[in-house]
Structure 1
Amino acid sequence: MIPEFALQLICGLSTVWCIAPRSQITSGFFRIQMLIALGLSVLLFLTSNQFPTPHVNEQAVSQLVAGTSILFGLLAFSGSVAWTLERRKGGTVFAYLLATSSTVTLVTVATLLSANSTESSATVSTITLPAIAETVSAAWLIGSVTSAMLLGHWYLTATGMPLKPFTQYNVIFLVAATLRMGATLFAYSSQGEVGEASWGLLTLRWAGLIGPFIIAILTIRILRYRNTQSATGVLYAATTLVFMGEMAANLIEQSYAIPTQL
């Protein structure tokens, strides 16, 4: 569960950096974000052998994740240096490189784990697409809510920043929440069943989907009144819901062998 979370968060954060506005946000925010990605890269390297791969792809997944985690760390460290020196173009380049490499790694690992979960090659093609959709949408949701929450916290110190970037970050969060619900429904419909998971886990899982969607809308409305502190507090609750929901989804998958996400 730990390496899945670290890899998805690296991918999600770096993707948000690329699609969100950067010109109106001070460089210090991105420097800290890069350092967070650096710490996650170290965590990913240390736990690279903990992916749930009980069959033939175990060594391939571990080696891939260990190798790419070193690359992620180098890119994140170089990016933090660039943002510290106010080299915004250089920092943006490292953000794109990190987003691209982490997304490719995430998709590759999802494919290997999907192939690992079935013995029929005909079934692999059916399972792989939902698995990729689930894990990539989970990464976007985790990354967007975390990045939006941290940006809201950044407004407490960088009080002179315009409000527009914060609103745009929450719009990205809303889109990610919508895509995550769609990917989950697609995966469940592709499987035909979701296992006999407990009501507690299922409730927590769907609370982690519906709750953040509602909170994203509420946060955008709160920002119309320029109340960044209240918006940040609400985003803390959304972050907690997302993390708990994705943890529940992971537990459901591991307990009932549902091969739909990392």
Structure 2
Amino acid sequence: MLWQILVEFLFRLACGLAAAMTFTSPTRVTSGFFRVHLWVGMGFNTFIAVVVVLINDFPQRTSVMSISIAASILSYIGAVVWLYEKSTLGRWILGAVTTVNFLGALVASAAPPAWKVLDVFTASLLLGSTFAAMLLGHWYLNTPTMKLTPLKQLILVMGLAVILRTLLAGTELAEFTPRWQQEGSSYMAMLTLRWLTGIVGVLAMIVMTWQTLRIPNTQSATGILYVAVIFVFLGELTSQLLSAPSLHPV
């Protein structure tokens, strides 16, 4: 189960990262940003393929492997396209990478169809926008002349994603209250970790980053975004662990 959770998490992360880059303006951000981080996404998908190859009884093994290989190939092609600064074609390929990874996350997920699409969409949006914002903040350190607008837009997307994730997870709490009241202290500790890091902590980091960019100080903002990434990773992985028994997003 743990390997399946990790594979689904990486599909969500790769999907969200590609989506965030798709909606980042190539006229305001240098092409190297897209090229380098398509390689990062390719690394995620390659790791998924290796995991599935090594685990013979992995659920939906053939489908997951095929999707991860397809996403890796598309990411490589996209990186080559961005090397030659073909931004229009590059964004289409980013859209294709997003779609393939979204499909991979759906296939890897064990949640019921009614919840699966919403869960994968909101989690991917939060993971990808946060991770991309941190990477873009780091990119400003290499290219300090870039405008702050793309980074601010990603931070706004982070805020939207947290709101959507809160609504989805809050629905589970409202509908399945007897479960978390009866599970005991260990479940409550995990649930508290999920909400304090993945929701409350991320919201605090968003506010702090936004205020820091008003100075503006991209170096400090990037440091805050590093913490936001850690919080999101902890929150979403804990969410997947808690959701596994009930198959409902937490």
Match of 2:22 in 1: 18
d(CA) in 2 for partners of 1:236, 1:243: 11
Give 1:72 deviation, angstroms: 0.2
Unaligned runs of 5+ in 2: none
What SS is found at the alignment partner of 2:100?
A: helix
8 A contact 2:130–2:229 mirrored in 1 = yes
The alignment status of 1:211 with 2:201, answered yes or no, reads yes
Within 2, Cα distance between the matches of 1:23 and 1:190? 46
Whether 2:80 is the aligned partner of 1:81: answer yes
Query: How far does the alpha carbon of each residue in 1:62-93 deviate from its partner, in whole angstroms, 9 at most, with x for none?
Result: 22110000100010000111111111122111
- Give a deviation string over 1:181-207, Cα, whole Å, max 9, x none: 112112334445444253321221001
Judged with a 3 Å threshold, the aligned counterparts in structure 2 of structure 1 residues 46 and 130 are, in CA distance, closer, same or farther, namely same
User: Is residue 198 from structure 1 mapped to residue 197 from structure 2 by the alignment?
Assistant: no
Deviation at 1:251, TM superposition (A): 2.6
Secondary structure in 2 matching 1:156: helix
> Once the 2 structures are TM-superposed, how far is the Cα of residue 221 of structure 1 from its aligned partner?
2.1
Q: What does 1:24-103 correspond to in 2, within 5 Å?
A: 24-48=28-52, 59=59, 61-103=60-102
State percent identity of aligned pairs: 29
Give, in whole Å, the separation in 1 of the partners of 2:102 and 2:174.
Answer: 25
1:157 corresponds to 2:147: no
Contact 1:132 1:261 in 2 (8 A): no
Deviation of 1:130 after TM superposition, in Å, equals 2.4
Contact kept, 8 Å, 1:130 with 1:183, in 2: the verdict is no
Secondary structure at 1:25 match in 2: coil
Q: Equivalent of 2:234, from 234, 238, 244?
A: 244
Q: Output one character per residue of 1:43-80: Cα deviation in whole Å (capped at 9) or x when no partner.
A: 111123799xx9xxx65x22211000010001000011
CA offset digits 1:21-63 (Å, max 9, x no partner):
3320000111111000110010111123799xx9xxx65x222
Give the residue type in structure 2 aligned to 1:260. H
Q: Which residue number in structure 1 is paired with residue 151 of structure 2?
A: 166
Question: Given the two structures, how large is their TM-score scaled by the length of structure 1?
Answer: 0.84
Counterpart contact for 2:127–2:232, Cα < 8 Å: yes
When the two structures are aligned, how many residues end up with a matched partner?
240
Runs of 5+ consecutive residues of structure 1 not aligned to the other structure: 115-126
- The Cα shift of 1:13 comes to 0.6
TM-score normalised according to structure 2 size: 0.88
What is the aligned-residue RMSD (CA, Å)?
2.2
Q: In the aligned structure 2, how far is the partner of 1:215 from the partner of 1:98?
A: 28
